[in-house]
Chain A
Amino acid sequence: MNNKIKNQEILFSPGSTYWGDVWLQFKKHKGALLGAIIFFGIIITVMLGPFLWPFEPNAIDIRSRNQGPSLLHPFGTDQLGRDTFSRIIAGGQTSITVGLAAMFLSLVLGTFIGVIAGYFKRLDGILMRFTDLFLSLPLLPLLLLMMFLFREPLSVSYGPERGMFILIVFAIGVTSWMPTARIVRGDVLALKQREFVIAARSIGTPDQRIIIRHILPNILSPILVSATLGIANAIITESALSFLGLGFPPDFPTWGRLLNDAVDYLQIHPERVMWPGLAISLTVLSINFLGDGLRDALDPRIRGR
């Protein structure tokens, strides 16, 4: 009881801002807080690692190949003597960049289609059928197909790594926008009936400005939640493609690729699959917890309880 009163005092104290309240609620979800710390820790490690770590990810040192964990190589070395830790960092850079870029693309697509479908009644039916159609596509087979078909022309025109990056981001982006579009559409439909939108329309605000000024800021929270889940989904999909050998070129480390390389040595060096696998799982797990906490924190019905 005492606790509840205290919460309400915090909530309704004159100095509280929207994001302040969200932060207060978010802090209470211990798993989400830990998830956020781990996720940002991974990002910082991956971004700053190459500047601090002495080994190059592709530097071959045959004399120190197939080593177990030691002080010099905390994660050991692979069959060519490359330092596994530096390869995990390099792989993380690719995987997380792909995750962020693909999430951004799918978010833009999903928000755009969701807002248009929710706001313009005439387009609603056809856009939602379109979304349903995309939801019933066999995504993994189609992604594999796209990788296989378009990898060579894009490699020729943009170079092997950049071409693959564009292809993967594009492929994941266009196959993962549907849940965002559905959630956004639902929220826009509800918002459209609210007084402030009707008031804005009654004074002759053009549709475009209503959407930008009144609708978009109010659907920020579902978009943020789908953004976190989108990163997790994109990282898993990219790793799955690389794992199946249809992602980045073989000498270019990503987490899925490293896992795929390690599987060949499963019988002799079973510990080698752990590092990339743990990196993927820890990242995705921390993002999922972060998303869970964000969903609770951004929901005003739950906040303050």
Chain B
Amino acid sequence: MFDYTVRRLLIAVPTLIIISLVIFLVLSLAPNDPMAQVPLTVPPEVKEKMREALGLGQPFHVQFWKWLVQFFWIEPQVLIDHYFGTNYSEDKLRVISWQTRAPVMDTVVQRLPQTLWVVGMSYVVAIAISIPIGIYSAYKQYSIFDQAGTFITMVGYSIPPFFTGPLVIVIFAVHLEWFPSTYDTLNEVNNWESFITQLKQMVLPVMVLAIQGTAQISRYMRSAILDNLNQDYVRTARAKGLSESIVILVHVLRNSMIPVITIIALNLPLIFGGAIITEQVFKVNGIGQQLILAIYANDLPTIQTLTFIFAFLIVFFNLVADVLYALLDPRIRYE
């Protein structure tokens, strides 16, 4: 098991480096000029100096190496300093946003919790809803519940988050006025009332993302249970006289969860992609919105860092899926 994990880790590291290279390449192929906003009254030689100060004149591999050092060496030092009060990172150059003139990672750290809360909550909700639906519709295959469930999950799967977002706003915020339509970013949770406000404003974004997740997970859950229901061990369990609930909820469910757990881990990056749109719709101040703002503002260091963070999340959850799969199904490890 340890060997397997190490092997997977060793594959993940070069993948990440190649991805960061791809992102870097796309950005450096970009024909637009970060100095375009500088007023025309600035003399060309000053402009040239500004360009050099931004590190734009250097060859490609030097720029890439510097970015790697900044991101993987200096930023972790900042983190260590923050937690242990040391000063390894003093006077070292961090990745600075062109938009805010502050280190990119500081903004990311401020915004990441909102994204993680919304995405995490929506995933918990999606799993809690979709697993019982999947089990029941597989158990009663071709029943009315199953047919309706299949149709509804297909609908949920087909409606994109940029339509469900406005749709739930129209229904729950404009007509029913139950929940606010936008996220109040200034709300601090320090008493019961502000907690309720926080809860209320999270309902709609979480709902939109949960619809997407539920549709995907329950389809997989249903087919995984169906695959297992015809197995010999199920017949044996029934022949032993075990009750139906134990057969389904203990024997079948445990075996069916193996593929479903990997799907849950593998789909998480998709939900992060959906979070970019959902944050835009509900004005949640997460990293998805930060990415959009940075793209509009031509803020290359922020774009680069955020795209890489998204890539990191994908590779990380792929790794988690692989390891979980091997942990749950011993046959995988010896392939």
**Are the C-beta atoms of A146 and B26 separated by less than 8 Å?**
yes
Question: Is A100 an interface residue, CB under 8 A from the partner?
Answer: no
- Which residues in window 244-292 of A have CB below 8 A to B? 244-246, 256, 259, 262-263, 266-267, 270, 273-274, 277, 280-281, 284-285, 288-289, 292
How many residues of B are counted as interface, with CB atoms below 8 angstroms from the partner's CB atoms?
46
How many residues of A are counted as interface, with CB atoms below 8 angstroms from the partner's CB atoms?
43
Taking the nearest CB of chain A, how far is it from the CB of B301, in angstroms?
Answer: 13
**Are the C-beta atoms of A140 and B154 separated by less than 8 Å?**
no
- The complex places the Cα of A246 from the Cα of B175 at a distance, in Å, of 30
Contact flags A111-128 to B (C-beta < 8 A → 1, else 0): 000000000000000000
- The complex places the Cα of A139 from the Cα of B310 at a distance, in Å, of 9
Give me the interface of B with A, judged by CB distance under 8 Å. Answer: 15, 18-19, 22-23, 26-27, 29-32, 151, 154-155, 157-160, 162-163, 166-167, 169-170, 174-175, 181, 269, 273, 276-277, 280-281, 291-292, 295-296, 303, 306-307, 310-311, 313-315, 318
Taking the nearest CB of chain B, how far is it from the CB of A233, in angstroms?
Answer: 11
Closest 5 CB pairs of A and B: A138-B310, A277-B163, A149-B30, A285-B158, A270-B170
A144-B295, A149-B26 given; A243·B162 CB < 8 A: yes
- The complex places the Cα of A215 from the Cα of B92 at a distance, in Å, of 58
- The complex places the Cα of A149 from the Cα of B23 at a distance, in Å, of 12
A137-B19, A244-B277 given; A277·B167 CB < 8 A: yes
Chain B contact residues, majority secondary structure: helix
Question: Is A148 an interface residue, CB under 8 A from the partner?
Answer: yes
Q: Kindly list 12 other residue pairs between chains A and B, CB separation below 8 angstroms, not including A145-B27, A270-B175, A281-B163.
A: A136-B19, A136-B314, A139-B273, A140-B276, A141-B273, A145-B26, A148-B295, A152-B32, A239-B160, A267-B174, A277-B159, A284-B158
- The complex places the Cα of A82 from the Cα of B313 at a distance, in Å, of 44
Q: In the complex, which residues of chain A have a beta carbon less than 8 angstroms from the beta carbon of B307? A: 138, 141-142, 145
**Are the C-beta atoms of B160 and A281 separated by less than 8 Å?**
yes
Taking the nearest CB of chain B, how far is it from the CB of A270, in angstroms?
Answer: 4
Can you give 5 A-B contacts (C-beta < 8 A)?
Answer: A138-B307, A144-B295, A259-B166, A280-B160, A288-B154
Question: Is A236 an interface residue, CB under 8 A from the partner?
Answer: yes
Taking the nearest CB of chain A, how far is it from the CB of B28, in angstroms?
Answer: 10
- The complex places the Cα of A246 from the Cα of B298 at a distance, in Å, of 13
The chain A residue with its CB closest to the CB of B292 is A244
Taking the nearest CB of chain B, how far is it from the CB of A152, in angstroms?
Answer: 7
Taking the nearest CB of chain A, how far is it from the CB of B259, in angstroms?
Answer: 17
**Are the C-beta atoms of A137 and B163 separated by less than 8 Å?**
no
**Are the C-beta atoms of A144 and B158 separated by less than 8 Å?**
no
**Are the C-beta atoms of A138 and B273 separated by less than 8 Å?**
yes
Taking the nearest CB of chain B, how far is it from the CB of A2, in angstroms?
Answer: 19
Q: In the complex, which residues of chain A have a beta carbon less than 8 angstroms from the beta carbon of B30? A: 149-150
**Are the C-beta atoms of A133 and B15 separated by less than 8 Å?**
yes
Q: In the complex, which residues of chain B have a beta carbon less than 8 angstroms from the beta carbon of A145? A: 23, 26-27, 295, 303, 307
Q: Which of A138, A144, A149, A245 contacts B31 (CB 8 A)?
A: A149
- The complex places the Cα of A218 from the Cα of B31 at a distance, in Å, of 44
**Are the C-beta atoms of B163 and A140 separated by less than 8 Å?**
no
Q: Which of B155, B158, B162, B170 contacts A240 (CB 8 A)?
A: B162
Chain A contact residues, majority secondary structure: helix
**Are the C-beta atoms of A152 and B31 separated by less than 8 Å?**
yes
Interface-centre pick from B160, B169, B174, B310 (highest chain A CB count, 10 A): B160
**Are the C-beta atoms of A266 and B169 separated by less than 8 Å?**
yes
The chain B residue with its CB closest to the CB of A256 is B162
Taking the nearest CB of chain B, how far is it from the CB of A18, in angstroms?
Answer: 27
The chain A residue with its CB closest to the CB of B162 is A243
Q: In the complex, which residues of chain B have a beta carbon less than 8 angstroms from the beta carbon of A146? A: 26
Question: Is A74 an interface residue, CB under 8 A from the partner?
Answer: no
**Are the C-beta atoms of A240 and B291 separated by less than 8 Å?**
no
Interface-centre pick from A243, A267, A288, A289 (highest chain B CB count, 10 A): A243
- The complex places the Cα of A266 from the Cα of B281 at a distance, in Å, of 11
**Are the C-beta atoms of B15 and A138 separated by less than 8 Å?**
no
Question: Is A153 an interface residue, CB under 8 A from the partner?
Answer: yes
Taking the nearest CB of chain B, how far is it from the CB of A33, in angstroms?
Answer: 15
**Are the C-beta atoms of A138 and B269 separated by less than 8 Å?**
yes
Q: In the complex, which residues of chain A have a beta carbon less than 8 angstroms from the beta carbon of B32? A: 149, 152
**Are the C-beta atoms of A141 and B306 separated by less than 8 Å?**
yes
Q: In the complex, which residues of chain B have a beta carbon less than 8 angstroms from the beta carbon of A141? A: 273, 276, 291, 306-307, 310
Q: In the complex, which residues of chain B have a beta carbon less than 8 angstroms from the beta carbon of A153? A: 31
Taking the nearest CB of chain A, how far is it from the CB of B319, in angstroms?
Answer: 10
**Are the C-beta atoms of B170 and A259 separated by less than 8 Å?**
no
The chain A residue with its CB closest to the CB of B272 is A138
Taking the nearest CB of chain B, how far is it from the CB of A285, in angstroms?
Answer: 4
**Are the C-beta atoms of B18 and A133 separated by less than 8 Å?**
yes
Question: Is A168 an interface residue, CB under 8 A from the partner?
Answer: no
Question: Is A172 an interface residue, CB under 8 A from the partner?
Answer: no
**Are the C-beta atoms of B167 and A273 separated by less than 8 Å?**
yes
**Are the C-beta atoms of A277 and B166 separated by less than 8 Å?**
yes
**Are the C-beta atoms of A263 and B23 separated by less than 8 Å?**
no
The chain B residue with its CB closest to the CB of A282 is B158
Q: In the complex, which residues of chain B have a beta carbon less than 8 angstroms from the beta carbon of A285? A: 154-155, 158-159
Taking the nearest CB of chain B, how far is it from the CB of A156, in angstroms?
Answer: 10
Question: Is A232 an interface residue, CB under 8 A from the partner?
Answer: yes
